[in-house]
Amino acid sequence: MRAAPYPVQTGIMPAVRRVCDQIKFAVRMGEDRPITGYGGRATDDTVRCSETMTFNPLEHRGIPLDRQLRNWRELNVEPVDPDRADPYTKCRIITMNGIETEAIFFSHHFSRVCPEMEVKQQLAEDRYIEQQQQKTVNWLLPGQSSVLETTIAYEQVAVDLTGWVARMEPDPYLKQAYEFGVLEDFDHLYRYANLYEMIEHRKAEKLVDNLTEVMPGRPTMLHHRDPMDNVRTPYDRNQAQPISKLHALTIMAAEQQTMNFYMNVGPQYMEPIARQLYQEIGLIEEEHVTHYESLVDPGETWYERLVHHEYNECYMYHSFMETESDPKVKAVWELHLNMELEHLRLACELMRKHDGREPESILARELPPPVTFEPNKEYIRELLATQVDLTTLGAGYVREAHERFERMQSRIHGDEKPPSERVIDEHREMFGQEYRLQSEGDHPVQSLREVRVSR
Ligand SMILES: [Fe+2]
Ligand SMILES: [Fe+2]
Ligand SMILES: [Fe+2]
Ligand SMILES: [Fe+2]
């Protein structure tokens, strides 16, 4: 008989077992701290919640790769409660799904260009675990949520994750890229919130829970730029601070997942306005992926990139482990962190062997402060007041609508209003006003204040 990958725990209360089957090897009765690793037994090296102020992932051992595989019961996670879950818990789930999806596709791309059989085999082993992590994480989302409700959560992620990253980014050019992008996803949130009330007759405030405002950002119709103007100048891998590399990977992964999501769910709607709005915003997410991925230095070797991916997974799981309010979800972050520590160790070995360089030379000595979901209302308002009229020209930013921008605008819009404008018009027609959630007062930009129509 094959030995179970993890020794079965005994003495776990049925309720706890029901809740935590998927992480049964990570939760031990009688201790309120999840444990990780060998046989469900904490070792001196495994990492537990809130035990670390400073944390260097290179100094901790995780769970050996051959003990990371989960069976069906362990993969069968209980989703969060759609009505009672903290919106930011859902945001963390969506973010980590994007991070895992990027890890998987990066590994596939690496494998396709890698001639070394041994490396391809190791990538395949690791990637299978990344897939199990992705399944665990994304399946925490509740099936009761509609596609549009999940969409609104995706845009809330884009606003509050990018907002946080923009505030923390030390490099002014990179900071500008995040400040520019966040005002666009902020507008998407407003357009989808109007669609939500029209087709589901519910208000988005229950979803965003007053943590994020809902009002116009840079109007979506103005996001359609000539594709060449979406390409930014990359950071220099020898000059950029480690935190800048982590930020770029995180936002690229989140936007890429949003793009993938809209590519697939858009045609599931019957209502023409919904189908069209997903097409329009889906094309803007393509622009956002181009914008953010071009920040990453293409001179990084494949092994270096692998190390950065695994390090960033450690950083993100560690961040969310430290800030998570839902104990069951927190246990997943903790377990996955302990898996990622081993992925990172293996990636570092590959880099030493194939690049002949020490990973320590490119990595931070300790993790930066945790990525935190928190309101960014004042920051967004300040950006609205100062940057709403920006567009891009080449790799820079301008305030004037230049020739290439105008040509693209007239080609894509023809002489018609795009879906993002029509959704607001149709909402006004149905309800006499548009949907907004302005908890902090009037819109900071005069021209974007609400126009009420009489019916
Ligand atoms: Fe992962
Ligand atoms: Fe968006
Ligand atoms: Fe976006
Ligand atoms: Fe990983």
Note the pLDDT tens digit of each residue in 112-162.
999 999 999 999 999 999 999 999 999 999 999 999 999 999 999 999 999
* Closest ligand (CA of 251): 3
Does the pLDDT at position 2 exceed 70? Answer: no
Element (H, E) at 391: strand 391-393
pLDDT band at 47 (very low <50, low <70, confident <90, very high): low
What pLDDT, on a 0 to 100 scale, did the predictor assign at position 86? Answer: 97
CA distance 276 to 195: 11
Note the pLDDT tens digit of each residue in 58-98.
999 999 999 999 999 999 999 999 989 999 999 999 999 99
Q: Using CB atoms within 10 Å of the CB of residue 453, give its burial: 0 to 12 exposed, 13 to 18 middle, 19+ buried.
A: exposed
Ligand 1 centroid from CA 103, angstroms: 6
CA distance 35 to 50: 13
Ligand 4 centroid from CA 103, angstroms: 7
The residue-averaged pLDDT of 213-236 equals 98
Which residues line ion ligand 2, judged by CB < 5 Å?
A: 158, 185, 188
Ligand 1 centroid from CA 453, angstroms: 50
* Closest ligand (CA of 107): 4
Cβ contact 407:432 at 8 Å: no
Element (H, E) at 9: none
Average pLDDT, rounded, for the chain: 90
Note the pLDDT tens digit of each residue in 381-402.
999 999 999 999 999 999 989 9
Ligand 1 centroid from CA 309, angstroms: 9
Does the pLDDT at position 32 exceed 80? Answer: no
Ligand 2 centroid from CA 167, angstroms: 19
Ligand 4 centroid from CA 101, angstroms: 10
What pLDDT, on a 0 to 100 scale, did the predictor assign at position 21? Answer: 42
Closest by Cα among 373, 220, 338 to 288: 220
pLDDT band at 50 (very low <50, low <70, confident <90, very high): low
Ligand 2 centroid from CA 97, angstroms: 16
* Closest ligand (CA of 255): 3
The residue-averaged pLDDT of 364-384 equals 97
Ligand 1 centroid from CA 313, angstroms: 6
